[in-house]
Amino acid sequence: MSAAREELRQAVHRGDDVAIDRLGWAAVFEVLDRFWAKRLATADRLAYATAVGHVPADTVRDTLVALASSGQSPYRPAPAQLAAAVAPTATNTPPGGRRLRTDQHPVALARVRELLAASHPVCGCRGARQFLRDAAGVMRCAACTGLEQGQADTALEADQPDEALAA
């Protein structure tokens, strides 16, 4: 078990809110408590700490926000479901066996749609550009911090119903 996960588990077990906040997990537990009904008991928090305590808290929080806002999870995700959502693995590999790039993962695309809805700019730089991927899988221009155009387009297309099915 990783040291970060074990430290989080010990803090949750002790009910040490200061340590939980210092580790960055207070915001994660707040999202879990407020976005879905019923506050988490200590045993439930321990289950989440065990399942995803090794993942950076910001990534877990962003994944939870994306799951809630995209409608992919009308109920609080179980710890194992959350672990699958934060780590692209065989459990969330698309049919055909090809693993999605992290910037094309449904959670990353949901986060891009959120950012676009909040009026975050798309990169307009000319010429060769370097893009940096954040913990949620969002690609941003190193120069202007705008969203990568291709990822923004893919996110918007994924949000639209398939016209072929509508006809």
> When comparing pLDDT for 63 and 70, which is higher?
63
Answer for the pair 9, 43: CB distance below 8 angstroms, yes or no.
no
Residues 4 and 78 occupy one common structural domain: yes
Q: 141 pairs with which residues across the strands?
A: 131
What is the model's pLDDT at position 163? 47
Residues 100 and 67 in one domain: no
What pLDDT, in 10s, does the model give residues 91-139? 445 555 555 677 888 888 888 998 999 999 999 998 888 888 887 789 9
For residues 106 and 62, membership in a common domain is answered with no
Q: Is the pLDDT of residue 19 over 50?
A: yes
What are the E-state strand segments in the chain? 131-133, 139-141
| Number of domains the chain contains | 2
Domain coverage including residue 127: 94-167
